[in-house]
Chain A
Amino acid sequence: MLELRLVQGSLLKKVLESVKDLVNDANFDCSATGFSLQAMDSSHVALVALLLRSEGFEHYRCDRNLSMGMNLNNMAKMLKCAGNDDIVTIKADDGGDTVTFMFESPTQDKIADFEMKLMDIDSEHLGIPEAEFQAIVRMPSAEFARICKDLSSIGDTVVISVTKEGVKFSTRGDIGTANIVCRQNTTVDKPEDATVIEMQEPVSLTFALRYMNSFTKATPLSNQVTISLSSELPVVVEYKVAEMGYIRFYLAPKLEE
């Protein structure tokens, strides 16, 4: 038996909106730790890892570890039917082939339940080791989204370079080139407007903008995004999900042949 009650149901709506275009089908894993998902896109170039810790739920009952295969587009369709202020409860029976999403309006005057068929998904679960990064950039998520959108109108790839001058996003295409430099800025009124660059050593990596733009669909989840770079590793683009967890996107770089 599984029963997870999330008062801030809009978080789950936003999570689904941010992953449904990247991944078609995925297993949601439920354990004492929390509600999690790990899945790769169909080209195996990007990976998404979501964790919503059990403490973040108002009520969290998970009698035994459960893996539920879901079509993310269908799940997003159902969650779109929840109001932004609704409380969302996810319910499933052990060994059952459906999951139920229950939506309660804040005043309890409307209660809806949507039952969705589960599916068997044969997915590979990857071990992601804790890593030291050469550079970690924390910046306003809306700024990062704007940069990715702007650059994708010029080119297909972005070179992200971190030096002591700041972080530079560059692209080139048929019509020309573009460079956007963001410098560290911690003298801001609101902490969410800060740009913080922690650099161990300079790093420069190339990525497909199509994926970066897809990751920025998570922008409504968090005012800040963290971009962790190392020449030996995929970039990690992380958005915090309120106080309860994170959604991390991993993207393998493009290398010169």
Chain B
Amino acid sequence: PCLQKKILGYFNED
């Protein structure tokens, strides 16, 4: 089983 990471876990809001 793989966990799909989210973009928000890598880039922060400006």
Q: Which residues of A contact B (CB under 8 A)?
A: 40, 43-47, 124-129, 157, 206, 208, 233-234, 250, 252-257
Contacts and interface: CB of A to CB of B under 8 A. Distances in A.
A246 to B, nearest CB: 17
B11 A257 contact: no
Interface of B: 1-14
Contact of A127 (B1, B3, B4, B11): B11
Contacts of A40: 7
B12 A126 contact: yes
Contact of B6 (A45, A157, A257): A45
A250 B5 CA distance: 12
Contacts of B11: 47, 126-129, 250
14 contacts: A44-B8, A45-B4, A45-B5, A45-B7, A126-B11, A126-B14, A127-B11, A233-B10, A250-B7, A254-B2, A254-B4, A255-B2, A255-B5, A256-B1
A170 to B, nearest CB: 14
Contacts of B2: 157, 206, 254-257
A44 B5 CA distance: 9
A125 to B, nearest CB: 5
Contacts of A254: 2-5
Contacts of A128: 11
